Chains A and B, each alone.
Chain A
Amino acid sequence: MWSIPSYLLAGMAIYGGIGWLLDRWLDTSAFFPIGTVLGLVLAGYLAYRKFSR
């Protein structure tokens, strides 16, 4: 239960990082926030599946 914060941080870091790289590559600015939110949602889903049993 106490590892949920590190899941959320990891999710935001990974998908936010991918978004940031995409932004640099494609010269846009939308993928970084999208990636951050997507990572948060995925990490939340992972935490939900792991700890709701």
Chain B
Amino acid sequence: MITLTAPAHGDGEFTAPTPNELFDLAPIIPGVEWFTKPVLLAVLSAIIVIGLTWAAFSKPKLVPRGMQNVVEYGYMFVRDQVARPFLGKDADRFMGLLLTLFFLVLVWNLMGVVPIAQFPVASHIAFPAVLAISIYVLKIYLGIKHQGAGGYFKNMMFPPGLPKPIYLLLSPIEFLSNMIIAPFTHAVRLFANMFAGHMLLAFFSMVGFWFLFEKLTPLGAGVGVVGVVMTIIFTGFEIFIQFLQAFLFAMLASMYIGGSLHAEH
């Protein structure tokens, strides 16, 4: 892999790692510009997800054991917490999509704390943006298919149960929120969480590395210990956030799909 921590600056002063050092990575093979670490990890994550589900469900047994047991827990979680609350009886039709989304985003995120990999794929906005745009296209397609072009926009912009004159004020908000802001926040929520989390982890591990190994002084050692302890605490916190964001991403996708399938009453 490339550098594990941000490079030391060499002038004897501690400086926090900058976003450029952390996220603007050089190509792994010199000359192949597009093949950077996040691309490698994204491909690797896809292979991991395919391998996991293959190992679990290629020869499913009625009484699950081993790998099938573990992945089935993930399936049940996605079905009961993500799909069913928003899709109801249509949940099973979309389980393939939602399960893939959840597992893929989860593995992407967990790459941020896996030693050696240590880079959350979603901290480059292109990756969540592609997923969010796919969901956005699917949402509009399903909406027009199930409610008709006019009906879809009418149901979206005029939610029932409001006093008539208010629609004039609220319809633009509904339209902008559903058509432009929602896919944007869908991607940015995941991106920003992973970006900030990676920055935090890099900063605290840099503090620990610098004050304990690069420049060990009696006064600085305490700071270094704090850095190491904070790195450990924040790694645990990051794992929680990474799981939560993967869940939220799949849940929002399910919510958008559900909103397109049935008009709100």
Contacts and interface: CB of A to CB of B under 8 A. Distances in A.
Interface residues of B, number: 22
Contact of A10 (B177, B251, B252, B255): B177
Contacts of A14: 172-173, 176
Query: Which bracket fits the contact residues of A?
Result: 10 to 19
A39 B162 CA distance: 17
Contacts, number: 52
B173 A11 contact: yes
A9 B181 CA distance: 7
A7 B177 CA distance: 5
Dominant secondary structure at the B interface: helix
Contacts of B255: 2-3
B10 interface: no
Contacts of B72: none
B8 interface: no
B161 A49 contact: yes
B226 interface: no
Interface of A: 2-3, 5-7, 9-11, 13-14, 39, 42-43, 45-46, 49-50
Interface of B: 159, 161-162, 166, 169-170, 172-174, 176-178, 180-182, 184-185, 248, 251-252, 255, 264
